[in-house]
Amino acid sequence: MTDVTPQTRYALSDTVSIAYQVVGAGPIDIIVVPGLFSHIEFMHELPGYTAFLRRLSRFARVVTFDKRGQGLSDRISGAPSIEQRMDDVRAIMDEIGSQRAALLGFSEGCPMSALFAATYPDRVSHLILIGGFARAADRMPDDAWQHRVEKIVKSFGTGEMMKTIVPSQAGSAEAISQFAKFERLSSSPGGLRMLLLLNRQIDVTPILPTLQVPTLVLHRGTDTQVPVALGRKLASHIRDVKYVEYPDGDHCFWVGETEALYGDIEEFVTGHRESESLELERVLATVLFTDIVDSTRRALEMGDHHWRRLLDDHDQLAHQIVAKHRGSLVKSTGDGILATFDGPGRAVRCALALGSAAQQIGVPVRAGLHTGEIELRGRDIGGIAVHAAARVMAHSGSNEVLVSRVVTDLVAGAGLKFAERGSYELKGLPGRWDLFAASV
């Protein structure tokens, strides 16, 4: 498995060139049908996207593409009809020699995927619908929709839509800037307006009972872009459907907790969930999460240029201090870091040192630490310990380092001091957790 971005190729659909990429070479083909925005090259810059595709590629040949009129595909006059979008999928399958594939429709791509599967059942082995709907008009009344369209088009290219599509990252100025660029590369304001007006007319409800292919509908309960009620309604019209609802998470399927979602897709398509257990290496580590306090307000006050310079200074400090304490910097989170350590004492001292250094450059940070088993996924990590550290950090105040009880137990005699900060319920984790503020 390589970190090189897949090569972009083109398939001709009538006279329109459709950009596509292929990841992996597994025995099963999965065609990913995108939502409202797509740019197959830039999407690899979005955290979690490439990793999710590569995980699917453990058992499949995964194909992504840009709809006609968007991303790297040919721009067209007007908005593409749902029939034209179906033609584009068929053209890609013919180009890569795929006789039969699993369709993975996301968001706005779900209705077209369902119609394709109903129309060409001989070419679809499985149908997977994530964060989707059957009838676009169910999302809101006509008068509210007109206002919504104008608001979306007016703010297009600013990253404003992150608030409903990826709300968990909407507090990061860097993430908003990145998403704004994604919007601009995906489409133009006028092209988006036409697409939104066309999508309003979509209603595949009548054809759903005719589906003959195995169908899996996945939806997150806290999806603010496409409410979960629409996912339930979509599934209710499909015979013998498998419907899975996750308690929380953002609209984008590659963001946040993806373990269960990935496993459900793998099991649905292959009949088992073996690849994760075979390929993930698990180790004990102390996980450190940090976050710049009130970063959105500071970014607005300082302006993009000065804020970017301050973030660069912060990131340079983080690299130096983590390396000094023999830690492994997993990634920058935009306005913070995720790092691991093989010694909890060094992890706590690193967090304290980083907090002091960041204060000197005028950047208040908060930190959270937990020790537990993590899963190594290439350059990234996962597992309960990672989520626990993030939840601990969420309770930390400005210039404070909070740790879980297990960390205090493991560093006894190391010369560190801890003050009780109370017992908390951490979102998504069982029981109550005793948290402590660290100092030297």
Write out pLDDT tens, residues 389-434: 999 999 999 999 999 999 999 988 778 999 999 999 988 788 899 9
> Nearest CA to 37 among 160, 137, 202, 201?
160
Tell me the C-alpha to C-alpha distance, in Å, between residue 238 and each of 126, 150, 213, 242, 293. Answer: 13, 34, 10, 9, 46
Read off the pTM. Answer: 0.65
Q: Are 77 and 113 in the same domain?
A: yes
Residue-wise pLDDT for 297-355, tens only, equals 878 888 888 888 888 899 999 999 999 999 999 988 878 899 999 889 999 999 999 99
Q: What are phi and psi of 34, to 5 degrees?
A: -75, 170
Predicted local confidence at residue 365, as pLDDT: 94
Q: Are 237 and 144 in the same domain?
A: yes
Give the rounded percent of residues in the chain with a pLDDT score beyond 70: 97
Tell me how far apart the alpha carbons of residues 235 and 407 are, in angstroms, rounded to a whole number.
45
Judged against a pLDDT cut of 90, whether residue 25 lies above it is answered with no
| Residue 2: inside a domain | no
Specify the length of the chain in residues: 440
Tell me how far apart the alpha carbons of residues 23 and 30 are, in angstroms, rounded to a whole number.
10
Q: Are 122 and 226 in the same domain?
A: yes
- Residue 126 or 192, more confident: 126
pLDDT (average), residues 114-137: 95
Q: Are 222 and 351 in the same domain?
A: no
Residue-wise pLDDT for 250-281, tens only, equals 999 999 889 899 999 999 999 987 644 445 57
Q: Are 176 and 252 in the same domain?
A: yes
Judged against a pLDDT cut of 90, whether residue 79 lies above it is answered with no
pLDDT category at 7 given cuts 50, 70, 90 is very high
| Residue 224: inside a domain | yes
Q: Are 116 and 44 in the same domain?
A: yes
Q: Are 301 and 187 in the same domain?
A: no
Q: Are 188 and 127 in the same domain?
A: yes
> How many domains does the chain contain in total?
2
Predicted local confidence at residue 75, as pLDDT: 86
Tell me how far apart the alpha carbons of residues 69 and 274 are, in angstroms, rounded to a whole number.
39
Q: Are 261 and 285 in the same domain?
A: no
* Residue with token string 């676009």: 136
| Residue 393: inside a domain | yes
* Residue with token string 């400005």: 398
Domain with residue 343: its CATH number is: 3.30.70.1230
| Residue 26: inside a domain | yes
Residue-wise pLDDT for 157-200, tens only, equals 999 999 999 999 888 888 899 999 999 999 999 888 888 888 78
Predicted local confidence at residue 411, as pLDDT: 86
Domain boundary among 278, 308, 327: 278
| Residue 213: inside a domain | yes
| Residue 91: inside a domain | yes
- Farthest-apart Cα atoms in the chain, separation: 73
Domain boundary among 227, 262, 278: 278
Q: Are 344 and 233 in the same domain?
A: no
Give the rounded percent of residues in the chain with a pLDDT score beyond 90: 64
> Nearest CA to 349 among 418, 440, 434, 436?
440
Domain boundary among 278, 308, 333: 278
Predicted local confidence at residue 1, as pLDDT: 34
Judged against a pLDDT cut of 90, whether residue 382 lies above it is answered with no
- Containing structural domain, residue 338: 280-439
Predicted local confidence at residue 2, as pLDDT: 36
Q: Are 112 and 193 in the same domain?
A: yes
Residue-wise pLDDT for 41-78, tens only, equals 999 999 889 989 998 998 999 999 999 989 999 988 77
Q: Are 122 and 238 in the same domain?
A: yes
pLDDT category at 5 given cuts 50, 70, 90 is confident
| Residue 1: inside a domain | no
- Residue 240 or 303, more confident: 240
Domain with residue 259: its CATH number is: 3.40.50.1820
Predicted local confidence at residue 274, as pLDDT: 65
- Write the secondary structure of the chain as one string of H (helix), E (strand) and C (coil): CCCCCCCCEEEEECCEEEEEEEECCCCEEEEEECCCCCCCCHHHHCCCHHHHHHHHCCCEEEEEECCCCCCCCCCCCCCCCHHHHHHHHHHHHHHHCCCCEEEEEECCHHHHHHHHHHHCHHHEEEEEEECCCCEHHHHCCHHHHHHHHHHHHHHCCCCCCHHHHCHHHCCCHHHHHHHHHHHHHHCCHHHHHHHHHHHCCCECHHHHHHCCCCEEEEEECCCCCCCHHHHHHHHHCCCCCEEEEECCCCCCCCCCCCHHHHHHHHHHHHCCCHHHHHHCEEEEEEEEEEEECCHHHHHHHHCHHHHHHHHHHHHHHHHHHHHHCCCEEEEECCCCEEEEECCHHHHHHHHHHHHHHHHHCCCCEEEEEEEEEEEEECCEEECHHHHHHHHHHHCCCCCEEEEEHHHHHHCCCCCCEEEEEEEEECCCCCCEEEEEEEEC
Q: Are 309 and 254 in contact (CB under 8 A)?
A: no
| Residue 240: inside a domain | yes
Predicted local confidence at residue 8, as pLDDT: 96
Judged against a pLDDT cut of 60, whether residue 3 lies above it is answered with no
What residue type is 125 in one-letter code? S
